[in-house]
Structure 1
Amino acid sequence: MSTTMRAAVCVKAGPPEVLQIRDLPVPEIREGWSLVRVEGAGLNRSELRTRQGHSPGVTFPRVLGIECVGTVADSTDPRLPAGTTVAAVMGEMGRHFDGGYAQYALLPDALLMPVTTTLPWEVLAALPETYLTAHGALDALGILPGGGRLLIRGGTSSVGLAAAQIAAAHGIETAASTRNSGKAEALKAAGVDHVLLDDGRPPADAVHALWPDGPDYVLDLVGTHSVPDSLRLVRRGGTVCVAGSLSGWLLPDFEPIAMIPTGTRLTAFHSDTLKGSSGQGLLQRIVDAVQAGLYRPHLDRVFALDDIVTAHRRMEADQATGKTVVLPWADATGGRTGR
C-alpha cells in the first residue's frame, strides 16, 4: 500500500473552488481507530454548508465527507478484519476529523458498520446517510409500518426520494412537492401517488384539494423556511418531522405556543442517532431491500474525486435529483464503478 493518498481538501470557507485535490500521507491506525479504503462517498448538503463556513467548530484545512463506504485496510479491532466491507456515517466525520472525500479515511471503530453485499460501490455509497435518515424520519413520524397520508416537502432530494420508496413499500399514500416540473417523473418512479408543484408559495390549496383535512404526517426536508407552514398544513393532531436543512438550520422568532396548533406534534430526526452499531442492523436490512429490488436508489450523478468542484457546484445550484456520489479511486482505476 502506498504511503500517500489523494484527497479533496477544503482549504478554507468559500465557494466550491476551495476544494483542492492534494496528496496527503495515508493515516496511521491507532487504538480505537481503523483505516478504511474509501470506495465511495455520498455528497450531502451539510458538507456544502460546512464548506461555506456555516458549521461552528470546524477548522480548515479539512477533508469533508460525513459518510463513506469501503473496505477495512488495517485495524486493531478483531471485529474489523482487513477486507471487511463497511459503511460509516456522521460522528463528526468531515468536521472534527477528516472524512470521506479521500482514498483512505481513519475512522473510529465505533462508527464502522460492517455490511454484507454484492452491490456496486456507487449504489452502496448512495445508501447510508440517505436511507438511514429517510427510515429514521418515518419512524420518528410514527408512520411505519404503514397507514395514513404522508406529505414529503423537498421530495426530489435524495432523502425525499428514499422516503417515498420506503413509504410506497409499506403501502402509505404519499404526496411530494417539487419546484421543478421536470422532476415529476422521478417522484412517480419512486412511488409517489400525488406530485405537487411548488411555486414558492405555501401549497395549502393543492394539499387541501387532495386531503381536505390535511395530511396525517409531513416530512419536511426543506427545513426552517417551511416548518411554520408545514405545521399549518398537517391535520390537527398530526405530526411534522423536520429531517432536512435545504433552507438552513435555524428558525428565527419561533413561538411554539403560537405556531404549533393544539394537539399537533413537531419532532425531528438526525442521522447521528443511527451511527455505528445502532444503525448497523437497519442498514443491512436496507441493503438487502435494495438487492431484492424493493428499494431502487436514485443516483443523480457519479463523479471522480478530480471532479469534486463540479459536483459541489451542481449540488449548490440544486440541479441534482437524488443522490450524488464520488468514487475516490475512479480515475486511478480507469473509471471503474463496480466492486
Structure 2
Amino acid sequence: MSRPAAAGSAAPTTMRAIVVTRPGGLDALEIKDVPVPLRKPGWVRIKVRAFGVNESEVTTRRGESDAEVTYPRIPGIEGVGVVDEADADSGLRPGQQVATMMGGMGRSYDGAYAQYVTVPAGQVIPFETSLPWDVVGALPEMFQTAYGSLTRGLDLKAGQTLLIRGGTSTVGLSAATMAREIGATVISTTRHAERADELRAMGVDHPVVDDGHLAEEVRALVPEGVDAALELVGCTVLPDTFRCVRVHGTVCFTGALAGGWAIPDFTPFVIPNGVRLTSYAGAATDLPARVFQQQLQAIADGRLKAPVAKIYRGLEQVRDAQADVESGTMPGKHVVLLDD
C-alpha cells in the first residue's frame, strides 16, 4: 500500500487546457478552464512546462484514432515538467524534473495539453538538466521511439550500416543522431533533394532521395546490403526496403508516414531469403532514466542534436502547431512551451 502522498505547493483548483469535445478541424481544439486533475494512488501529478505536438494528436483531433480514444479529451501523448504531487514511496519528490509519454496518455485518459497532467508513476522518467524546457520538451516520445527501434528492434551495433526510410521525420532525425553516437554508418532518405543538407547536419553519412525504389542506389553504396533498416514510411515501400538488406539483416517496422499499416494479401515469401522482419511500438519503460539522462548530457555536450522545428508559446498557439504538423513542411519537432 502506498504511503501518504508527497506534495509541493498547493495546486490551484482549476487550470487551462486544450479540450477536444468532438472530432473536427483545428477549431475543435478549444481552450477551456477545467478542474486540476486529482491524483490517484500510484499516479503522479506533473506541472507541465512543455510538450511536443505529434501526428497522433492530430489523428485524435480528427476522430481517426482507434476505439481507445473517447471524448471529451485533453490530447497530448507526451510532456515534461516538474512533479507536483506523488506517493511518498514513489521515489519522486515535488519539484523534480520529469518526462512522461505514451501508455494511453491523451487517448484513454487526459494528456499533456494542459497546465497539469496525472499519469501512472511507472511511466515517469526523472532527469536533471540545465537545458531549456523547449529543448527537453521535444525529446520524450521522439527519443523513446528512436531508441527503442534501434536497440530493442534492431540491436544496432558499432560498425554496422543502417538505412532509415523516412529520414526527415522527427523519429528519423533522432534515430540518425543516435545511430551515429552508437558508431553506425547511416543512410537516410528524403523525398526532396533540397533536404539532403538537413540530413547531413544531423550526422547522416549518405542522404538518398526516395522515389519509392531505393534498392539499387543502396546496393551501390553497400553492395552486400545494409545490416539494418528502420522502416518509417510504411508497408507501401516495405518490399523495396527488404531488397536493401543483407542476408541475416533486420528490418524494423516502426511507422507508416505514407499510411500503409498492412500488406494486402500478405505472404511470408514477400520477405527475401534470410532477411528478418520485426516491429517496434514500445512504451515509456523502454527508455530507461539512465539512457534519457545520457542523451540529455550528449545534447548539452554537443554530441547529439535535438531536431526542433519550431517553438510555440502558450496554449493559444496549439492550433498553429497542429497546422504546421499537418503541413509537413518543417522537419523536426514542434514544441509548445508553457509559462511558469
CA contact (8 A) 1:91 1:275 kept: no
SS in 1 for 2:164: strand
Give the corresponding residue for 2:244: 233
Give the corresponding residue for 1:295: 304
Give the corresponding residue for 2:210: 198
CA contact (8 A) 1:183 1:321 kept: no
Give the corresponding residue for 1:128: 140
| Mapped partners of 1:186, 1:169: distance in 2 | 18
| Mapped partners of 1:226, 1:25: distance in 2 | 46
Q: Percent identity?
A: 40
Q: How does 1:82-93 map to 2 (within 5 A)?
A: 82-93=94-105
Q: Which moved more, 1:25-34 or 1:57-66?
A: 25-34
Query: How many residues are treated as equivalent by the alignment?
Result: 327
SS in 2 for 1:195: strand
**CA shift at 1:149, angstroms?**
1.3
**Pair 1:26 & 2:16 matched:** no
Give the corresponding residue for 2:6: none
TM-score (ref. length: structure 2): 0.90
**CA shift at 1:55, angstroms?**
2.0
Give the corresponding residue for 1:336: none
What is the CA RMSD across the aligned residues, in angstroms? 1.8
| Structure 1 segments of 4+ aligned residues over 4 angstroms from their partners | none
Q: How does 1:48-127 map to 2 (within 5 A)?
A: 48-57=58-67, 58-78=69-89, 79-127=91-139
Structure 1 residue ranges without an equivalent (≥5): 334-339
| Mapped partners of 2:327, 2:311: distance in 1 | 17
Q: How does 1:117-196 map to 2 (within 5 A)?
A: 117-196=129-208
Give the corresponding residue for 2:20: 10
Q: How does 1:234-313 map to 2 (within 5 A)?
A: 234-248=245-259, 250-272=261-283, 274-275=284-285, 279-304=288-313, 305-313=315-323
Amino acid at match of 2:113: Y
In structure 2, relative to structure 1, the CA distance for the partners of 1:48 and 1:227 (3 Å cut) is farther
**CA shift at 1:143, angstroms?**
4.6
SS in 1 for 2:199: helix
**CA shift at 1:184, angstroms?**
1.7
Q: Which moved more, 1:49-58 or 1:66-75?
A: 49-58
SS in 2 for 1:75: strand
CA contact (8 A) 1:7 1:103 kept: yes
**CA shift at 1:211, angstroms?**
2.2
| Mapped partners of 1:148, 1:111: distance in 2 | 31
| Mapped partners of 1:85, 1:324: distance in 2 | 21
TM-score (ref. length: structure 1): 0.90
Deviations 1:187-235 (A, max 9, x none): 1011101111123x32233222222333221111112322222122222
| Mapped partners of 2:337, 2:260: distance in 1 | 28
Amino acid at match of 2:307: H
Give the corresponding residue for 1:214: 225
Structure 2 residue ranges without an equivalent (≥5): 1-10
**CA shift at 1:324, angstroms?**
1.1
